[in-house]
Amino acid sequence: MRRSEREITDITEIERILKEAQVCRIALHDGDFPYMIPMCFGYTLEGDQLVLYFHSAPQGKKIDLIKANNNAAFEIDKMGEIIQGDTACSFSAAYECITGKGTIDIINGIEKLTGLNSIMNKYAGAGEHKYSEQALNNVAILKLTAEEFCCKAHKT
């Protein structure tokens, strides 16, 4: 990281950003260009091991791309206010972000429920979530295991 003074290493701060952020963008391989998709997400963070979960239709472009090459990158951010400058090139923005890369897989069985519960806990609150058999059959759960990630912030 070029701007090491902006790095966040405190696991409590990283978890706070994961809790507060609403969207994760994943980038998949699609020939000569990346294919980037904004997605709702769930996560587990144990020590320095970050796992992200996403729900998807069980078929479509992203599923085909994952089956062809399961390497992925991701970006999660919380944007703050614009920092005004005196000149056009002196503007900035306050933000907190997590970026990284890893492998993304389509998961099933109990692992599928773990991923789905992590997504539901993030957006609907912790608790017992019940799913119909039809709902479980009509959703794919994607698991991105981060091989590396970093977190940084620029504050006002």
- Looking from the CA of 41 toward its CB, the CA atoms found within 13 Å total 28
Residue 47 Ramachandran class (φ > 0 left, ψ -120 to 50 alpha, else beta) = left
**Predicted pLDDT at 58:** 93
In this prediction the pTM is: 0.89
Is-contact 155 100, C-beta < 8 A? no
Cα torsion 83, 89, 95, 96: sign? negative
CATH code at position 27: 2.30.110.10
Parallel, antiparallel or unpaired: strands 71-83 and 92-107? antiparallel
The pLDDT assigned to 123 comes to 93
Domain count, the chain: 1
pLDDT at res. 78: 82
Tens digit of each residue's pLDDT (9 = 90 or more) over 50-65: 999 999 999 999 999 9
pLDDT digits (tens, 9 = 90+) for 125-154: 888 888 888 888 899 999 999 999 998 887
Work out the number of other CB atoms within 10 angstroms of the CB of residue 90. Answer: 9
Range of the domain at 33: 4-154
